[in-house]
Amino acid sequence: MKLLVKLGGTLLDDPQSRQGLATQLAALHQTNPITAVVHGGGKQMTRFLEERGVPSNFVDGLRVSSPEVIDAVLKVFAGTVNHELVASLVAAGLDAVGLTGIDCALTECELVNPALGQVGHPVKANTRILDTLCGNNFVPVIACVGGDRSGKVYNVNADQMATSLAAAWRVDRLLFLTDVEGVRGADGQRIPVLRPADAQNLIDTGVAHSGMLAKLRAAQFALENGVGEVRIVHGATPDVLARVQSGEALGTAFLL
């Protein structure tokens, strides 16, 4: 199975949580070596900026990215968060390789809106580096930073980046490990399986909003572009990776 795992930054902020996920990924790799990881780090970014007196401003869930913020994006996403995760994976026995979307033009972006600064929307992916690494038993670990052919650097929403790469790489399953148990309906109950029309209804009625709204849109895009399944699962669930891969109905599965 070709698998892409997107890890939320909250799960990576705590060393124990990060190492636990690394141990799970190492166990998974024994049976599913074609696995890549995309990660965020918004919580760490906000803290880094606050410590330097830089406010975090958001528009429609996207962080306004001035040159000062882009410098922090490289230091935090591509630097600390990425390398701490790679170090944890290496400690767990994996040959992990840290990347960003800039490397090998893995994720090419265009500007979302000049008012947002250097916030990029993925428009093209070059996944040959993922084939090369996975084909040689390496695990790509990708920070949510993108670029373009003119050399610009972009802050990229991690969900959008994971979805773009999953579609281009034609993965069988895109797994979002988050800090929620899945998608909830208007009654507050977890929805085990969502079809595109159901997801659109949650969006249209306002039941899905902010972060979950972004994930629903990302899931719809992924399914429409060849991804076999998208699943949102609580990343702190014990043995979450093995249980999902064994077929247990955790979280919410998006299927056509």
The pLDDT mean for the chain works out to 94
- CA neighbor of 235 nearest in space, from 10, 4, 3: 10
Mean pLDDT, rounded, for 52-62: 88
Q: Which tens digit of pLDDT belongs to each residue from 62-117?
A: 899 999 999 999 999 999 999 999 999 999 999 999 999 999 999 999 999 999 99
Residue 203 has pLDDT above 80, yes or no: yes
Check if the beta carbon of residue 59 is closer than 8 Å to that of residue 27.
no
Residue 217 has pLDDT above 90, yes or no: no
Q: How far is CA 130 from CA 103, 165, 249, 255, in A?
A: 11, 10, 28, 25
Rounded CA separation 129/99 (Å):
10
Check if the beta carbon of residue 123 is closer than 8 Å to that of residue 110.
yes
Enumerate helices (H) and strands (E) in the chain, giving the number of each: 10, 14
Which pLDDT score is estimated for 256?
A: 87
Residue 60 has pLDDT above 80, yes or no: no
Which pLDDT score is estimated for 101?
A: 98
Rounded CA separation 56/65 (Å):
9
Beta bridge partners of 5: 37, 175
Count of beta carbons in the 10 Å neighbourhood of residue 34: 17
Compute and round to an integer the Cα radius of gyration of the chain: 17
Question: Token digits for 167?
Answer: 């579609």
Entry field: residues in the chain? 256
Q: Which tens digit of pLDDT belongs to each residue from 13-54?
A: 999 999 999 999 999 999 999 999 999 999 999 999 999 999
Which pLDDT score is estimated for 9?
A: 85
First to last CA, the chain: 18
Overall number of domains in the chain: 1
* Total-model pTM: 0.95
Residue 121 has pLDDT above 90, yes or no: yes
Question: Token digits for 223?
Answer: 């399914």
Look at 186 and 211; give whichever has higher pLDDT.
Answer: 186
pLDDT range class, residue 162, cuts 50, 70, 90: very high
Query: For strand 229-234 and strand 252-254, is the pairing parallel, antiparallel, or unpaired?
Result: antiparallel
Which pLDDT score is estimated for 152?
A: 96
Mean pLDDT, rounded, for 205-232: 88
Which pLDDT score is estimated for 61?
A: 78
Question: Token digits for 9?
Answer: 């930054």
Rounded CA separation 101/156 (Å):
9
The letter for the amino acid at 74 is L
- Structural domain harbouring 79: 3-254
Q: What is the CATH number of the domain that holds 156?
A: 3.40.1160.10
- Give, in degrees to the nearest 5, the angle at Cα 6 between 91 and 12: 50
